Chains A and B, each alone.
Chain A
Amino acid sequence: MLEARGLTKRYGALLAVDRVDFCVNRGEVLGYLGPNGSGKSTTVNMIVGLLQPGSGEITLNGTKQAEDPAAYKKRIGYVPEEPFLYTHLTAPEYLTLVGRLREMPLEGLERKVTELLKLFLLWDARYSTMAAFSKGMRQRVILAAALLHNPDLLVLDEPFSGLDVNASLLFRSLITMFAAQGRMILFSTHRFDMVEKVCSRAVILSKGRVVAERTITRERPDALEELFHRVTDQQDFTPVARDILAVVQA
């Protein structure tokens, strides 16, 4: 189980994340929802170990992040919001680099890289550097890299941006089946439709604090969106849209 207790992060005077508590159980996909600037990415960066929490504690299956960060990070796979990768490398080179950084044995790694490239439909582009890849292709490379070492926890930060329809469907199936194997998935997004389709529970964040937590039910598809608008003080954007059109047409 992943447990975050009292997570707090401050940037100077700005309190980005304020005493956030949540947990992700085995076999669960937790949706982490929030408007822009609510502290989603800061939380994700703390969970994956890219950012040190100001205070609070993160535990994964009993291993405290602060006590053994290397062992903790070994069990995490991460798909960042933007597919930042070394575009002068080819996809096999990048995956091999990641696998070797994760201390995977070279023999098994080569086989795994080959299989993943074929399954993610990247095999034909194996001799091209990733500079020529579309955003969707790069996203697929990042997902393959995140899964390469068979992690216990998969942290996804807006993984569907830039993906085509087929890749999105593949991602969805993969997330569901991965969780069904008893793994944990933290799915940070602002897309209600995706959360409702793949998550079993959702936590809503606003201004750095957890303001709601809800188990997803398929019976009322719009329930999450209604809750989100209510707890995050979202304004009604209809008048703003009307004003924008008025300015454009003036």
Chain B
Amino acid sequence: MRRPAEASRSRLLTRHFFGALFDLGFLTREGADGFIRVVIGIVAVIITLGLWLTRMYTIVYALPGGVADPAPYVSAVDANTMTAIGLPMWIAAFVTVLISHSLVPDETDYRVLMALPLTKAFIFRAKLLALAMFCALFIAGSLLGLTVLVIVISSSRFAPNIVPVSVAAYWLVGALACLFSVLTIVSINGLLTILVPRSRVHGVTATVKSALLAALMLSIPSVLALPAKAGAFAGHSRALYSLPPAWFVGIERLAFGGGDAFTAVLGRIGLVAFASVSAVAATSYLVLYRRFDRVMLTTVEVSRRRSRWRGTIGDFTLATLRRSSLHQGVLVAVSALGVTLAINRVGGQTATYAALGAVWLLMFFIGLATRAAIALPIDQRANWVFRMTESDATRASQLSAVTRLMRQTTVIVPVLVMAPLEWRLFGARAVPALAMNAVCGLLWVEVLLRGWRRIPFTSSYIPGKQFIAQTLVVGIGTLVLGVTIVGAMALGAARSTAFFLIASLLLGTITLVFRRTRLHLWNNGALEFDDKMPSALDLNLYG
């Protein structure tokens, strides 16, 4: 039994590690306040969506009062239970990927804490506990949020168990499913840290983190499509064997009854998978505990190639995007959201013109992702070197690296991605359609760069400078309108040369006006190194 003093020290250290998981590190005090506002806003939006979902399901399950054949509803219960398990699994995986760099104590922890009379085991235990608490917070939140939904599903007369048993089963199996997500991410990270050569560990884990974030974003439509899998349950589809949430529906039926031979197979697959990732995660954590030097070592070997054709700021920007997991993660995750929506839009309607709007989804999200990634600071106190070398003569050419990057990611990439589809739709007429896409993209880049006066990664950042609801309404409005307008523009350009010329001239003129304003600002205004809240003075309230 542990002594009270040791328990108290353990609590203290765990609390320290737990608090550190909420500290983004790169934000100033104003930035941290802004981040809290953003989190509160997001929670409010999630609660609203949860209530909306519950209401929707209440209506759906109120319908089958006197139906003769209950089979479709039995399958629907399975599919909806899978949804209620799948959503928290996704959230658990997402949160774990975000904090994957903190899965074991870092160099600072080691240097500061090992100087105190604390053992390595003590430090690791506290870190593990803090991580467990952090993940548990999100897991419990998501399970709690979906419990109402489970009650609605379980109230159906086709549910396999009565409501209290269903809720208990959901909490137990849901937590197990979320733990599976967490352990999978831990296993991937642990294996990489152990198996990749030491000098490449940080680079590889950063890339894999971005890849995992992208994969999670791309999986959103699949998660949202889980309620539509009722047919797969009814038809005992083998596709469900590769769907982790389905495994946990199987485990729930195995443990609490109401299943059949098919769900029993799913449950057994789930148990084997859970045991496997648990073993890998535990083993890798143990190995890292014994071989702590692998984690401590921050050496990153970089490519020996050097570029001559990129500018100073371009080199700096690309090196940062390649090596910083934070900046890479933001760029990849937000862009992947656009790719996800674009695939969803194009899917099944490649022969129709509706698919044309997908280009805007790519431009919108990749543009926002690029801007957000370069707005976030890195080693902010090192920006003195840019402050010391700033001059009116070089400022505009340095900042032009930002325009180049934005045009490459926001215009060229989406247009190249859409080119095969538009070629299939219009043949040679795809050329004006793609050109129209490019003109729209160039205007979007200018809109995104309005008021921009920063060398990438050098300015402090305050998230949530505007009211979250306002940002969401404006963002969703721009997204939805853009899909229609940009799609229609491409269609018009493909059908009529006159339309293409007039629309290009109009949008091109607006773009040039924006560009001129931007260049005037870059030539005459100093670089910005501190993000500021919009002040009341900006609203001209004081005349």
Please give the residue numbers on chain A whose beta carbons come within 8 Å of chain B beta carbons, in ascending order: 48-50, 69-70, 73, 76, 78, 80, 82, 84-90, 93, 96-98, 100-103, 106, 127-129, 131-132, 145
Residues on B with beta carbons closer than 8 Å to the beta carbon of A89? 316, 319
B320: nearest residue on chain A (CB-CB)?
A88
Name B197-214 residues within 8 Å CB distance of A.
Answer: 199
Contact among A87, A127, A145 with B302 in the assembled complex (CB-CB below 8 Å): A127
B319 and A80 within 8 A (CB): no
A100 and B312 within 8 A (CB): yes
* CA gap between A127 and B301 in the complex, in Å: 5
Residues on B with beta carbons closer than 8 Å to the beta carbon of A100? 312
Also in contact, A103 and B323, with CB within 8 A (given A50-B387, A73-B388) = no
A127 and B382 within 8 A (CB): no
Contact among B302, B386, B393 with A90 in the assembled complex (CB-CB below 8 Å): B302
Name B94-128 residues within 8 Å CB distance of A.
Answer: none
A88 and B388 within 8 A (CB): no
Residues on B with beta carbons closer than 8 Å to the beta carbon of A80? 384
Residues on A with beta carbons closer than 8 Å to the beta carbon of B381? 82, 84
B393 and A70 within 8 A (CB): yes
**Could you say which interface size class chain B belongs to?**
20 to 34
A49: nearest residue on chain B (CB-CB)?
B388
> Could you tell me the distance in whole angstroms from the C-beta of A90 to the nearest C-beta in chain B?
6
* CA gap between A128 and B385 in the complex, in Å: 21
A132 and B320 within 8 A (CB): no
A102 and B378 within 8 A (CB): no
* Chain B residues touching A, majority SS: helix
Contact among A73, A88, A127 with B378 in the assembled complex (CB-CB below 8 Å): A88
> Could you tell me the distance in whole angstroms from the C-beta of B376 to the nearest C-beta in chain A?
13
B387 and A131 within 8 A (CB): no
B379 and A84 within 8 A (CB): yes
1/0 contact trace for B301-326 toward A, CB 8 Å?
A: 11010001000100110011001100
* CA gap between A88 and B202 in the complex, in Å: 11
Please give the residue numbers on chain B whose beta carbons come within 8 Å of chain A beta carbons, in ascending order: 199, 297-302, 304, 308, 312, 315-316, 319-320, 323-324, 378-379, 381-382, 384-394, 398
List 7 A-B pairs, minimum CB-CB distance, nearest first: A70-B391, A100-B312, A101-B389, A132-B299, A84-B381, A129-B300, A84-B382
B394: nearest residue on chain A (CB-CB)?
A103
A97 and B388 within 8 A (CB): no
Residues on A with beta carbons closer than 8 Å to the beta carbon of B298? 129, 131-132
> Could you tell me the distance in whole angstroms from the C-beta of A82 to the nearest C-beta in chain B?
7
Most chain A beta-carbon contacts within 10 A, residue among B298, B316, B388: B388
* CA gap between A67 and B298 in the complex, in Å: 44
Known A76-B388, A132-B297; 18 more pairs at CB < 8 Å = A49-B388, A50-B388, A70-B391, A70-B393, A82-B381, A84-B381, A85-B382, A86-B316, A86-B378, A88-B323, A88-B378, A97-B312, A97-B385, A101-B385, A101-B389, A128-B300, A128-B301, A129-B300
Most chain B beta-carbon contacts within 10 A, residue among A78, A93, A100, A103: A100
> Could you tell me the distance in whole angstroms from the C-beta of B308 to the nearest C-beta in chain A?
7
Residues on B with beta carbons closer than 8 Å to the beta carbon of A85? 379, 382, 385
> Could you tell me the distance in whole angstroms from the C-beta of A153 to the nearest C-beta in chain B?
12
Also in contact, A88 and B324, with CB within 8 A (given A50-B388, A103-B394) = yes
* CA gap between A86 and B302 in the complex, in Å: 14
* CA gap between A29 and B129 in the complex, in Å: 55
* CA gap between A76 and B389 in the complex, in Å: 10
> Could you tell me the distance in whole angstroms from the C-beta of A126 to the nearest C-beta in chain B?
9
Contact among A70, A93, A96, A98 with B385 in the assembled complex (CB-CB below 8 Å): A98
> Could you tell me the distance in whole angstroms from the C-beta of A121 to the nearest C-beta in chain B?
17
Contact among B319, B382, B388, B392 with A78 in the assembled complex (CB-CB below 8 Å): B388
B199: nearest residue on chain A (CB-CB)?
A128
A51: nearest residue on chain B (CB-CB)?
B387
* CA gap between A87 and B324 in the complex, in Å: 10
Residues on B with beta carbons closer than 8 Å to the beta carbon of A97? 312, 315-316, 385
* CA gap between A100 and B455 in the complex, in Å: 14
